[in-house]
Amino acid sequence: MLSFVKNYMDSIAGIEIYPILSLLIFFGFFVVLFWWVLTAKKEYIDSVSDLPLDKDNHHQNETTL
């Protein structure tokens, strides 16, 4: 089964660019994410980390539903 897929992929012209592009997209995403984590403001991180524990906000959301 795998040899069939490999032979089929070898017959497609220009297919060698797709693994390179996917690696660049993958690497670029994590570089941008790492940069965002390093440059995020501490106040924003603290406010977002408290969201799941905010009982007043959760209670307001339940009453509006």
Tens of pLDDT along 34-50? 999 999 999 988 888 88
- Round to whole Å and give the CA distance between 60 and 25: 40
Q: 39 with 45: CB under 8 angstroms?
A: no
Only one residue has tokens 């995403």, namely: 29
More confident residue, 18 or 32: 32
49-63: pLDDT as tens digits:
888 877 766 555 555
Cβ pair 57, 51 in contact under 8 A:
yes
pLDDT score of 10: 77
